Amino acid sequence: MESMGLNSKEGSIEEVSQGGFWKGKNVFITGCTGFLGFWLTKHLLQQGAHVVGLIRDEVPMAAFYRENLHQRITVVRGDVENGTLLERVVGEYAIDTVFHLAAQPIVTVAYHNPIATFKANIEGTWNVLEACRRHHPQVKRIIVASSDKAYGQQKKLPYTEDAELRGTHPYDVSKSCADLICGTYVTTYGLPVCVTRCGNFYGGGDLNFNRIVPGTIRSVLLDEPVVIRSDGTPLRDYLYIKDAVYAYCMLAENIEALGLPGEAFNFSSGTPVSVLDITRMILNAMGKPDYPVQIMKSACGEIQDQYLSIEKAQRVLGWMPRYGFELGIHETIMWYQNYFAHLRASESKE
């Protein structure tokens, strides 16, 4: 199978933080029950951090709950639109590190519900940063999850971090705005903020099955047609979720040491692949190369081609993806096989 240009080193996620950096740190994670939030929370707990997690909705089948992480962290109920709550959390729990991951993350949802997306992604970001401003310099590092969508559609590819932020569709605009707000809080108030702009994450635990990787795996496991909403030609790059955790932790650990406040970093595979090709690669990995694929050509508000340069992350942080696609997709498929087997077993007992 094609490797997508990834480094083939099979690094364990537990190896990414050196020297006990996170032991005893008070870390606040918004969006902790989400796909990235689950894996980041799990890793930081393993590293000895004290994690406070903001939870809006309880999703019992989410990996976060299935692995009982809610019993191992301090849970705060609420959402990022509640600025008063966020300020209380940062102060009351003496937070020194913030990972702001909470967002409305689905492009099609943003297309149909722009105002809710703007409130979650833009207002939510300024609320988090304002809470940190009021408790600075107690808060020493803030990582805000932006997106490759913040760049909008541009002729020059791959995107580099100095490219203009010019989203046009609702989701893209929400990320462009949040990204610019981060810059304001760095320049005006000196907050130690860094922004991540990542490609498409994949891995076990993603229950948004309208995304191409989990959706394709789910369809095969349930013996349903694989559906591609676009015409299959858009180019994207994909990053295994454990490599994403590696990136976020490495960036946070180096904000002070390398003087990085105000910097943005792209994290991804560095190698684009079409939607149809990634679908075929997944089917090949599942031993189903001839599985039927329906191409709907119905996607709305999607950018045709977008992929990222990771040269800056390599040069400044020494970061590279540690998982080849073969290993990443193998672990991902196994996770969903276990997930759906568990669902079937639970249903048979009812």
Residue ranges per structural domain of the chain: 24-201+239-270+302-323
350: confidence class by pLDDT, cuts 50, 70, 90 = low
Res 12 pLDDT > 70? no
- pLDDT reported for residue 175: 96
- Secondary structure in 3-state letters for the chain: CCCCCCCCCCCCHHHCCCCCCCCCCEEEEECCCCHHHHHHHHHHHHCCCEEEEEECCCCCCCHHHHCCHHHCCEEEECCCCCHHHHHHHHHHCCCCEEEECCCCCCHHHHHHCHHHHHHHHHHHHHHHHHHHHCCCCCCCEEEEECCHHHHCCCCCCCECCCCCCCCCCHHHHHHHHHHHHHHHHHHHHCCCEEEEEECEEECCCCCCCCCHHHHHHHHHHCCCCEEECCCCCCEECEEEHHHHHHHHHHHHHHCCCCCCCCCEEEECCCCCEEHHHHHHHHHHHCCCCCCCEEECCCCCCCCCECCECCHHHHHHHCCCCCCCHHHHHHHHHHHHHHHHHHHHHHHHHC
What is the tens place of the pLDDT at every residue in 38-54?
999 999 999 999 999 99
What is the tens place of the pLDDT at every residue in 323-345?
999 999 999 999 999 999 988 88
Res 348 pLDDT > 90? no
Mean pLDDT of 245-265: 97
Global confidence as pTM: 0.92
Domain 24-201+239-270+302-323 indexed as CATH 3.40.605.10: no
What is the tens place of the pLDDT at every residue in 52-78?
999 999 888 899 999 999 999 999 999
Res 222 pLDDT > 60? yes
Which amino acids are annotated catalytic?
171
Mean pLDDT of 16-36: 89
